[in-house]
Amino acid sequence: MANVIRRQTPAARLGRGLLYGVLILAALFYILPLVVMLMTSVKPLSEISAGSLLSFPQNPTFAPWTKAWGEACTGMRCDGVGGYFWNSFAIVIPAVLISTTIGALNGYALTKWRFKGSELVFALMLFGCFIPFQVVLLPMAQTLGWLGISSSRAGLILVHVVFGIAFTTLFFRNFYVGIPNELVSAAKLDGAGFFRIFWRILLPVSAPIIVVSVIWQFTQIWNDFLFGVAFSAHNTQPVTVALNNLVNTSTGVREYNVDMAAAMIAALPTLVVYVLAGKYFVRGLTAGSVKG
Amino acid sequence: MRDSLPMKNTSATPLGAGAKRSTPSGGLQAWLPRLVLAPSVAISLFFVYGFMLWTFVLSLTSSRMLPSYDFVGFGQYSRLMANERWWVASTNLMIFGVLFVLICLVIGSLLAILLDQKIRQEGALRTIYLYPMALSFIVTGVVWKWLLNPQLGIQAMVQGWGFESFRFDWITNPDMAIYTLVIAAVWQASGFVMALFLAGLRGIDDSIVKAAQLDGASLPRIYWRVVMPCLRPVVFSAVMILAHIAIKSFDLVVALTGGGPGYATDLPATFMYAHAFTRAQIGLGSASAMLMLGGVLAILIPYLYSELRSRKHG
Amino acid sequence: MAALEIHNVRKEFGSERVLKDVSISIDSGEFLILVGPSGCGKSTLMNAIAGLEPVTSGNIYIDGEDVTWRTPADRDIAMVFQSYALYPSMTVRQNISFGLEMRKVPKAEREAAVERVADLLQITHLLERKPAQLSGGQRQRVAMGRALAREPKVYLFDEPLSNLDAKLRVDMRTEIKKLHQRLGTTIVYVTHDQVEAMTLADCIAVMRDGHILQLGSPDEVYNNPVDMFVAGFMGSPSMNFIRASLENNNGGYQLRIATPGEDELVLPWPEERIAADMAERLNQPVILGLRPEHFSEEDERLTSQAEGTLLSASVAVVEPTGADILLRLPLGEQEVTARVGPKCAVAAGERLALRVDMGRAILFDAETEQRIA
Ligand SMILES: Nc1ncnc2c1ncn2[C@@H]1O[C@H](COP(=O)(O)OP(=O)(O)O)[C@@H](O)[C@H]1O
Ligand SMILES: [Mg+2]
């Protein structure tokens, strides 16, 4: 779409110029908040109140970052967001690995070993992608209490796995549907069983969807706030909750540069993932949301 | 061989002896797929369906600080209906949802069409348009709170340029604060809609457009009359996803306005959280959660219905 | 002993009955071809034999053992799929040895088997490649190699050549035939290409709607079809079906073909081919089946010896195929195809005298489409 032949008339050139103008303006709209955030995070406080939003930092300083990382107050405690940053990793990594593994096995069983009712099982699980999480918050809080893991990282990992497998199952199911069933038939005749076929035949070709699933789960869980705020204690909070606390802690002067540095810290991992694997990120977004 | 079959008298298994077995397989292997799926099914039944039911039960009780099980029928729902703050939250969701969805669609489709004109640096532009989607709503909220701050943000900057009378203090104005949510949410999600539309445009058969060109249609007209109708499913999915994001919006409100000024920017999601977790109104909070679920279902069911129908026909 | 025996097998998908009482038995070393239109249940039958789909009822025996409820792995069967189904992440070598590895064959033996098969199929130079780096024909060979490596009791081929282009298909067909002759393997082979069926088979099973209509040697199926479907399905161009009515002719029979507004057209039925129940059908409509090669052009040099009935018709279309010429001619109310020698110099519109070999003609019931004589 776009094999439009154009003659280079002056009017066409003007149109082209306008086109680029609009596109660049739009790009500014999206990029400026990030630029402002970054610039503010390296300005001393004095420069912020004196200068304007877009003014370039005169005396760039890394102090707000170190303060945000190790000293800023998040609620009662004043030890920065650094610890919570690692908290997030400690929650995200197991949750991503577990939910992706389960999703891959589910997708495999649902597409390559169909049985009576397997479509129903899928529909049943798919619904988990759509519910508003408010509807599970209260029972979840109580269940975590019974299990003795409320306010713990294990509890948060459990929550993210439980509500992540609907998505990972969806990803892997839709991917494996496109893999010919004859491959599995051939492997069965060759004498391979359920797990062996998965391990030797399916898994080696699953790299693209594993990347999509890992990236999707990583961003979702890293960016989560609702579960984090509802099911964590001050020492198990993920970084999003700590950031929100930091920004809303009203002791003394508002240090906007520290706020912005903390926001940058919270945003960096997902931004890095996005920049490194943008293609898979987009694929996850569209796959996770468009196709049922 | 040929037509007549030698009747087997050796190894004569009674007919249908194995017919009860559902698949020719040795014991465990046949059950492995089901065994593998069983934990997920159990999880889904308990943590999704069970919890939904549980929340519904709670919404029928007078629970406050702790869940209690003395039933008051639909009392919490009538309390909710009489609660002014709930109505503010619901109205806000309507305003926020409609504007958010519409503006995202317009911006997203426009950017997609413009990007589809063989643009140099298309990849870089696309990356810029889409990156906010990788951020947490909390980060988005923190940034926009700063940008929208009248003393230090955009208003101060424009005033600093010499436009002394410039006002952009929506975030502190109870009547306008809800629109700041729209701005931040559109900033975050419109690039995603662009990506959806762009994928849709790239999927359209070139020859349709060529045929329309041969018919003498102008470019805008081709887009409006030929291309956009092909993208109906994309629009449909986009609306679906955006509406879903809108209903679930919680973090953005918390980070950007905290529901304020007052409770001017409350949404059902924040209402529910506030009542269930900080105001010791578990019964009322559950009732509001159930209504949110109802809202999602009202969007989801027609969507799934049409998806299934088009798949059957297609 | 029968290498493979299928006994009253039925298969239902929900309420859809896909296999309806299929019984077949083939001997060790025999080459059975299943033919039939698409959707008639050929692949379903193959999957049932392989154990990939459970049967609804009936039994399957391999080498006399009831394997109906055994796993695919326990049946000692190899299958070549239409899509080849090569494991994409493995090299050709790994593809071929995978089945042996699963059966815990020692490494040295596996290597030997790979070498043997690669040699047999001339794919030794491809062993380290991945399937994606192979051409269609090469993939086909590897798929066969994978089946051959294990030396199973029965081989199943499900339309193995239909993804190849025409030239390659003919080559591979010959090669498969050679392999079979050399190795003496038991093969069940699905195709919808009736040339493939005729050239490869020891025995052909013609299927339709989940039934086996006829099971017999290629010659039987071609020359003595049990009904109009089999007659029409085998042979290309397919058999001509001509509406006629059966009449008495001095104690014998003759067939009258309706020719409105033209000379009457009557073909006498050979006396030695009269069947018992023809008498009941006197003056009733029947269908006369004539293959294109049952016609031949009247040639003066042959006139004296040639048998058959003479008729004359005007040629509508001439289609030279190179080896011979196909003629389309109106005969009564229908058009028939005749195959004549490549030397026949006839142009469209001309009249031509043709000889019909009634000794090989076949008579069908117009209603049941079953063979009468
Ligand atoms: N897994 C299945 N579920 C339902 N119907 C099936 C299934 N597999 C095959 N069928 C049906 O069985 C019939 C025979 O299919 P198949 O054996 O593949 O035919 P073919 O002779 O072309 O190989 C078809 O009508 C098909 O729709
Ligand atoms: Mg088939």
Instruction: For ligand 1, say whether the CB of C207 is within 6 Å of any of its atoms.
Output: no
Query: Does the residue A2 lie in any domain?
Result: no
Same domain for A118 and A260: yes
Instruction: For ligand 1, say whether the CB of C39 is within 6 Å of any of its atoms.
Output: yes
β pairing state of C203-208 and C252-257? unpaired
Same domain for A270 and A131: yes
Tell me if the pTM is above 0.90. no
Spell out, as residue ranges, where chain C has pLDDT lower than 50. Answer: 304-306
Instruction: For ligand 1, say whether the CB of C13 is within 6 Å of any of its atoms.
Output: yes
Q: Which residues of B touch A29 (CB under 8 A)?
A: 187
pLDDT at residue C289, rounded to an integer: 92
Q: Which residues of A touch C52 (CB under 8 A)?
A: 185, 188-189
| Angstrom distance (rounded) from CA C299 to CA A279 | 74
Nearest to B268 by CA among B285, B245, B243, B244: B285
pLDDT at residue C109, rounded to an integer: 93
Instruction: For ligand 1, say whether the CB of C41 is within 6 Å of any of its atoms.
Output: yes
The token pair that represents B105 in the structure block: 């669609």
Query: Does the residue A78 lie in any domain?
Result: no
Same domain for A146 and A60: no
Task: Flag whether residue A166 sits within 8 Å of chain B, measured between CB atoms.
Answer: yes
Question: Looking at the partner chain, which of C72, C83, C146 has a beta carbon nearest the beta carbon of A188?
Answer: C72
- Per DSSP, the residues of B58-97 read HHTB--SSS----B-TTHHHHHHHT-HHHHHHHHHHHHHH
CB A224 within 8 A of CB A111: no
Contact between A4 and B195 using a beta-carbon 8 Å cutoff: no
Task: Give the residue-averaged pLDDT of B292-296.
Answer: 90
Instruction: For ligand 1, say whether the CB of C68 is within 6 Å of any of its atoms.
Output: no
Ranges of beta strands (E only) in A67-211 are none
Assign 3-state DSSP to chain A and report helix, strand, coil percentages, each to 5.
75, 0, 25
β pairing state of C186-191 and C154-158? parallel
Question: A136-155 burial, b if ≥16 CB within 10 A, otherwise e?
Answer: bbbbbbbbbeeeebbbbbeb
Cα dihedral sign for B288, B293, B294, B299?
Answer: positive
Q: Which residues of C touch A194 (CB under 8 A)?
A: none
pLDDT digits (tens, 9 = 90+) for C312-366: 888 889 988 888 889 998 887 888 999 988 888 888 888 888 888 888 889 999 8
Q: Residue B117: phi, psi to the nearest 5?
A: -100, 40
Contact between C79 and A185 using a beta-carbon 8 Å cutoff: yes
Helix, strand, or coil here: B204?
coil
Q: What is the CA radius of gyration of chain A?
A: 24
Nearest to C114 by CA among C101, C103, C131: C101
Task: Give the residue-averaged pLDDT of B189-213.
Answer: 84
Query: Does the residue A108 lie in any domain?
Result: yes
pLDDT at residue B12, rounded to an integer: 36
Residue in the structure block whose two tokens are 């049967």: C55
Residue in the structure block whose two tokens are 């706030």: A225
A203 CA → ligand 2 middle, Å: 27
Query: Does the residue A156 lie in any domain?
Result: yes
Instruction: For ligand 1, say whether the CB of C69 is within 6 Å of any of its atoms.
Output: no
pLDDT at residue B10, rounded to an integer: 37
pLDDT digits (tens, 9 = 90+) for C66-121: 999 888 888 899 999 999 999 999 999 999 999 999 999 999 999 999 999 999 88
pLDDT at residue C301, rounded to an integer: 53
Nearest ligand to the CA of C34 is 1
Residue in the structure block whose two tokens are 């003395």: B70
pLDDT digits (tens, 9 = 90+) for B100-153: 999 999 999 999 988 888 888 888 898 899 899 889 999 999 999 888 888 888
Quote the ipTM score: 0.88
CB C371 within 8 A of CB C227: yes
Same domain for A89 and A163: yes
CB B187 within 8 A of CB B221: no
CB A94 within 8 A of CB A155: no
* Residue C125 DSSP class: G
**Residues above pLDDT 70, as percent of chain B:** 89
Q: Domain limits at A22?
A: 10-64
Instruction: Answer whether residue B314 shows pLDDT above 50.
Output: no
pLDDT at residue A285, rounded to an integer: 66
Same domain for A183 and A106: yes
Question: Looking at the partner chain, which of C5, C25, C71 has a beta carbon nearest the beta carbon of B29?
Answer: C71
**Mutant choice from B136, B151, B309 vs A, greatest count of A C-beta within 10 A:** B136
Contact between B258 and A248 using a beta-carbon 8 Å cutoff: yes
CATH classification at residue A182:
1.10.3720.10
Phi/psi zone of residue B188: left (φ > 0), alpha (ψ -120 to 50 degrees), beta? alpha
Please state the CATH superfamily assignment of the domain spanning residues B75-313 in this structure: MetI-like (1.10.3720.10)
Highest mean pLDDT among B1-10, B174-183, B197-206: B174-183
Same domain for A92 and A57: no
pLDDT at residue A292, rounded to an integer: 33
**C12, C16, C17, C18: which to mutate for ligand 1, most atoms within 8 A of CB?**
C18
Chains in contact with C via at least 3 Cβ–Cβ pairs below 8 Å: A, B
Query: Does the residue A21 lie in any domain?
Result: yes
Helix, strand, or coil here: C268?
strand
Instruction: Answer whether residue B163 shows pLDDT above 90.
Output: no
Strand order of the sheet with strand C31-35? C77-80, C154-158, C186-191, C31-35, C203-208, C211-216
Q: Per-residue pLDDT for chain A (292 aa), expressed as one digit of tens each? A: 445 555 567 777 888 888 899 999 999 999 999 998 998 888 888 887 777 777 788 888 888 888 888 887 777 788 888 889 999 999 999 999 999 999 999 999 999 998 888 888 888 888 888 888 999 999 999 999 999 998 899 999 999 999 999 989 988 998 899 899 999 999 999 999 899 999 999 999 998 889 888 988 999 899 999 999 999 888 889 999 999 988 887 666 778 888 899 999 999 999 998 888 877 777 766 665 544 3
Contact between C74 and B26 using a beta-carbon 8 Å cutoff: yes
Task: Give the residue-averaged pLDDT of B1-7.
Answer: 39
Same domain for A125 and A15: no
Report all structural domains of chain C as residue ranges with CATH numbers, in order of start.
Answer: 2-233 (3.40.50.300), 240-365 (2.40.50.140)
The token pair that represents C253 in the structure block: 């029979």
Within its chain, how far is the Cα of C219 from the centroid?
11
CA distances from C4 to C12, C46, C50, C63, C180 (A): 22, 12, 11, 6, 16
Same domain for A242 and A156: yes
CB B277 within 8 A of CB B254: no
Domain boundaries, chain B: 4-59, 75-313
* First vs last C-alpha separation in chain B: 45
Q: Which residues of C touch A198 (CB under 8 A)?
A: none
Nearest to B204 by CA among A285, A178, A3: A3
Query: Does the residue A69 lie in any domain?
Result: no
| Angstrom distance (rounded) from CA B48 to CA C300 | 89
Residue in the structure block whose two tokens are 């919890």: B51
| Angstrom distance (rounded) from CA C363 to CA C277 | 12
Helix, strand, or coil here: A59?
coil
CB C82 within 8 A of CB C163: yes
Within its chain, how far is the Cα of B48 from the centroid?
17
**Within 10 Å of residue A50's Cβ, how many Cβ atoms?**
11
| Angstrom distance (rounded) from CA C14 to CA C16 | 6
CB C121 within 8 A of CB C148: yes
Nearest to C246 by CA among C275, C272, C279, C270: C279
Same domain for A176 and A123: yes
Contact between C71 and A180 using a beta-carbon 8 Å cutoff: no
- Looking at the DSSP bridge assignments, the partners of residue C371 are C364
Query: Does the residue A74 lie in any domain?
Result: no
Query: How many domains does the structure of chain A reveal?
Result: 2
Query: Does the residue A88 lie in any domain?
Result: yes
pLDDT at residue B11, rounded to an integer: 38
Q: Residue C141: phi, psi to the nearest 5?
A: -60, -45
pLDDT at residue C305, rounded to an integer: 46
Same domain for A104 and A47: no
Please return the burial class of B134, using the count of CB atoms within 10 Å of its CB with bins 0-12, 13-18 and 19+.
buried
The token pair that represents C361 in the structure block: 């003609």
Q: pLDDT-derived band of residue B212, with 50, 70 and 90 as boundaries?
A: confident
Contacts within 8 Å (CB) and 24+ apart, B153-162:
B153/A53, B154/A53, B156/A52, B156/A53, B157/A52, B157/A53, B157/A54, B160/A52, B161/A52
CA distances from A100 to A131, A158, A197 (A): 20, 13, 18
Same domain for A175 and A128: yes
